[in-house]
Amino acid sequence: MTAESYTWPENTNDAKAIQLALKDRVKIIPLIKNPEFIAGVDAAFHNDKVIGVACLYKYPELTSVEDASSVTQVSFPYIPGFLSFREGPVIVEAINNLKLKPHLILFDGQGIAHPKRMGIASHIGVILDMPTIGCAKSRLVGEYKEPEFKKGNWSSLRYKGRTVGVVLRTRDNVSPVFISPGHRTDLKSSIEIILGCTGKYRIPEPLRRADFLSKKIKASLKKE
């Protein structure tokens, strides 16, 4: 499967069928090699428009290399558990608009820590056949114990008897983030990459920049 051959659904029944079909394609495996370029992606909404942004960073230096964006019409309703169908098309467009191809993509959302093990990081990872990691600010599913308060401390996030992610402290004495592998990564790789992408703030730098730019584009649309 390629992004070009994939058809985005416009109704819930088709979306459910696609989630079931793609779930078995998700690979939770260690990274084959450390990425040289990592992209952070984010989406924002304004009226009937959805904005997608992809911000590319050199890794592990964490230097900003390139930004790309796309603005399209919203084509799927807001339904919990189906975020990837609402944000996915414009995010894929933004990624494709990058001149340099990332080796790994970070998402402000879930990977396998999802009711169907198919959060946006897993979904887009399978479509693009690319390593992906979900880094969410809040939990969608699962139970966990609060990790210790030092940077790098984490606890397991478990759902229906399986470990689907970790609750990771990215800075001392701040709220943790919820990390889950998306595709072609595992828990160990995900923790290492997220900590490697985190500077003086709680959220990894590629995702912070993507969030900032998506809001900036949204603000410009409001003025039109």
Q: What residue ranges do the domains of the chain occupy?
A: 12-223
The predicted model gives 186-213 an average pLDDT of 97
Handedness of CA 166, 170, 176, 177 (dihedral sign): negative
* 40 close to 65: Cβ distance less than 8 angstroms: no
**Which position has the token pair 């990872």?**
125
| Measured distance CA(196)–CA(177) in Å, rounded | 14
- Residue 4 in this model has a pLDDT that exceeds 70: no
pLDDT of residue 1: 47
Stated pTM of the model: 0.95
pLDDT of residue 5: 59
What digits encode the pLDDT tens for the residues 52-110? 999 999 999 999 999 999 999 998 988 888 989 999 999 999 999 999 999 999 999 99
The predicted model gives 98-124 an average pLDDT of 96
Note the CATH number of domain 12-223: 3.30.2170.10
Q: For 82, phi and psi rounded to 5 degrees?
A: -125, 30
